[in-house]
Amino acid sequence: MIPFLQKLKHIQRKNNSLLCIGLDTDVMKVPEFLYKYEDPQYEFNRLIIDATKDLVCAYKLNIAFYESVGEHSWYTIHHTLARIPEEIVTIGDGKRGDIGSSAEKQAHSLCYDWEFAGTTVNPYMGKDAVEPFMKRKDQCAFVLAITSNKGAKDFQYLKAKGKPLYEHVVLQAKKWNTKKNVGLVVGATKPEDLKRVRKIVPTMPILIPGIGAQKGNLEATVRYGCDKNGELAIINVGRGVIYAGSGDEFADKARASALKYREQINNYRQKYFG
Amino acid sequence: MIPFLQKLKHIQRKNNSLLCIGLDTDVMKVPEFLYKYEDPQYEFNRLIIDATKDLVCAYKLNIAFYESVGEHSWYTIHHTLARIPEEIVTIGDGKRGDIGSSAEKQAHSLCYDWEFAGTTVNPYMGKDAVEPFMKRKDQCAFVLAITSNKGAKDFQYLKAKGKPLYEHVVLQAKKWNTKKNVGLVVGATKPEDLKRVRKIVPTMPILIPGIGAQKGNLEATVRYGCDKNGELAIINVGRGVIYAGSGDEFADKARASALKYREQINNYRQKYFG
């Protein structure tokens, strides 16, 4: 059993990449030629994975894009995960969290059935609601701190005891991190706040969505999201990579896009971390 | 299309009941004689529903108890819902919420595929993260305000601008309620706070878990959770009903337990609302 952080660092170095590809595969958007297969969603993922697996540190699957397809999604997730090389980090993005016995059940699917290396969890219900996702040292729970959507401002920035709510979440998550398997989610759309978070948790992994379609700032994301060695940021791009092309050559286009993102990220790493 | 509140009031009056049974059916806990069936979890639900459908206003299914079983859960949920009489409220308890496009996918399963009349949503990511669950007037999004677990105190009681976080959530949810299809979740374990919430939202439905195994106070729950007519509280009991018995007669025991809860609730309604 390889501890999560060790696995993450290994693949970030081996593939020289902080890029995570978001396999949020909308079955309605896969190229037509895949419709001849029994599971077009899996075939799409397979071709993306095969075309990009030397360029990424992680793949993130938003569970909703699968469960919305119906009963077969359970297999689609299994098959997709089986196609991803063992050494690459997989993240099950379900934003889960519930009271004890229910959270155990949620974690059962994500951590023991599919066996994602990382999961995303929602902190609103507190520690015991996310604890089942932090049981194994080889699995990391990424706690939502600042999200990349418009509604992030509704509650995450409310000030309590002089600090925004998200900062309370960050401080708690840091306390929960006794096994070095807790991370945070911070949207790329708020670079100044990402900087603030990284200061509080210098050695925790941060999953950063919002690059690409959501127009987050990549330079600031690299500069403020990385640890002091220019690592431990997991920079997610979804639609910007997987839908870079739309025809028969979509996987090549995805590879070209992933290459471009990896290069941009590495240029900024070079600039700020030498 | 019957508006959600109208449907809820109708069944609460018809069955003279505020009781919601939590069908959080753990496949490992169903009586052995059900193992001869192809889908023991469904058979368990079917027998509970048939034995209690004249005693409840709602059934709540915690999605995690199904998805953790695997691919067949998609059907188990469909079949269970098909067994519930049309006029009874069904609640898909998934505690969802995500950025726009992902929340749309989450809502697709719960609101359009399974077609639950109500869903539970987590407010941390703000309005747009839960909006897809409030689209249809015949479907209600129950926003988590105060949960019944220990971790509720981690963030929900942080004070911002003189008010606990949960109160900010309640006030926002009230604003979102332009179609009269937003409700709240408030745990029965915090009756004083339930009172406070009911004061702020005199006409919104409140889903109240925490009675039974979680030892919430039933009298205070009825007194403070109802609207001025002694209605609109949806009082959930899960394990306390469905596992009242464990052998061949489990459904009869569940009926007896549901009868007892309905009677206790109605006695308190009589006492406080006449």
Q: Which two tokens stand for residue A126?
A: 């507190």
What is the band of A30 on the pLDDT scale with cuts at 50, 70, 90? very high
Cβ <8 Å between A154 and B127: yes
Q: Of how many residues is chain A composed? A: 274
Q: Residue B212: pLDDT above 90?
A: no
Per-residue CA distances from B259 to B21, B116, B269 (Å): 11, 25, 15
Per-residue pLDDT at A1: 86
Domain extent, residue B101, equals 4-273
- Helices B73-83 and A73-83: angle between axes, nearest 10 degrees: 170
- Kindly report the backbone phi and psi dihedral angles of residue A10, in degrees, each rounded to the nearest multiple of 5, phi listed first: -60, -50
Query: What's the pLDDT tens digit per position in A177-225?
Result: 999 999 999 999 989 999 999 999 999 999 999 998 777 799 999 999 9
CA-based nearest distance B223→chain A, Å = 24
**Cα–Cα distance between B120 and B60 in angstroms, integer?**
10
0.80 exceeded by the pTM?
Answer: yes
Q: Of how many residues is chain B composed? A: 274
Per-residue pLDDT at A214: 72
A194 SS3 class: helix
What residues of B are in contact with residue A74 (Cβ under 8 Å)?
70-71, 73-74
Cβ <8 Å between A158 and B152: no
Is B70:B76 a contact under the CB 8 Å cutoff? no
- Kindly report the backbone phi and psi dihedral angles of residue A260, in degrees, each rounded to the nearest multiple of 5, phi listed first: -65, -45
Per-residue CA distances from B27 to A10, A29, A31, B35, B42 (Å): 39, 36, 39, 10, 9
Per-residue pLDDT at B17: 98
> B93: which strand partners?
B62
Name B74's Cβ contacts closer than 8 Å, sequence gap at least 6.
Answer: A70, A71, A73, A74
Q: What share of chain A is helix, strand, coil (3-state, %, to 5)?
A: 50, 20, 35
CA-based nearest distance B207→chain A, Å = 15
What is the band of B234 on the pLDDT scale with cuts at 50, 70, 90? very high
Query: What's the pLDDT tens digit per position in A85-130?
Result: 999 999 999 999 999 899 999 999 999 999 999 999 999 999 999 9
**Cα–Cα distance between A65 and A67 in angstroms, integer?**
6
What is the rounded average pLDDT of the residues A14-39? Answer: 96
A9 is known as an active-site residue = no
What residues of B are in contact with residue A129 (Cβ under 8 Å)?
147, 149, 151
What is the band of B235 on the pLDDT scale with cuts at 50, 70, 90? very high
Q: Which two tokens stand for residue A234?
A: 């997991």
What residues of A are in contact with residue B71 (Cβ under 8 Å)?
71-75
For residue B95, the one-letter residue type is K
Cβ <8 Å between A95 and B96: yes
What residues of B are in contact with residue A113 (Cβ under 8 Å)?
68, 70
Is A132:A119 a contact under the CB 8 Å cutoff? no
Q: Find the catalytic residue in A9, A29, A95, A179.
A: A95
Q: Which residues of B are catalytic?
A: 95
- What is the dihedral sign for C-alpha B235, A67, B126, A185? positive
Provide, rounded to the nearest whole percent, the portion of chain A with pLDDT above 90: 95
Give the closest of A71, A105, A154 to B126, CB-based: A154
Taking the CA atoms of residue A146, residue A148, residue A150 and residue A156 in that order, the dihedral angle to the nearest 10 degrees is: 0
Cβ <8 Å between A149 and B125: yes
What is the rounded average pLDDT of the residues A27-46? Answer: 96
Cβ contacts below 8 Å, chain A against chain B, sum to 186
Query: What's the pLDDT tens digit per position in B38-75?
Result: 999 999 999 999 999 999 999 999 999 999 998 899 99
Name B30's Cβ contacts closer than 8 Å, sequence gap at least 6.
Answer: B40, B41, B43, B44
Chain A's closest residue to B239, CA to CA, is A101
Query: What's the pLDDT tens digit per position in A71-83?
Result: 899 999 999 999 9
Give the closest of A93, A98, A122 to B97, CB-based: A122
Cβ <8 Å between A125 and B98: no
| Total number of domains constituting chain A | 1
Cβ <8 Å between B168 and A158: yes
- Kindly report the backbone phi and psi dihedral angles of residue A78, in degrees, each rounded to the nearest multiple of 5, phi listed first: -55, -45
CATH number of the CATH domain containing A190: 3.20.20.70
- Kindly report the backbone phi and psi dihedral angles of residue A226, in degrees, each rounded to the nearest multiple of 5, phi listed first: -75, 160
Give the closest of A65, A70, A103 to B105, CB-based: A65
Per-residue pLDDT at A254: 98
Q: Which of A42, A62, A98, A165 would you mutate first to test chain B, the one with the most B CBs within 10 A?
A: A98
**Cα–Cα distance between A41 and A79 in angstroms, integer?**
10
Give the closest of A105, A154, A168 to B155, CB-based: A168
What is the band of A138 on the pLDDT scale with cuts at 50, 70, 90? very high
What is the rounded average pLDDT of the residues B234-242? Answer: 96
Q: Residue B214: pLDDT above 80?
A: no
Per-residue pLDDT at A212: 80
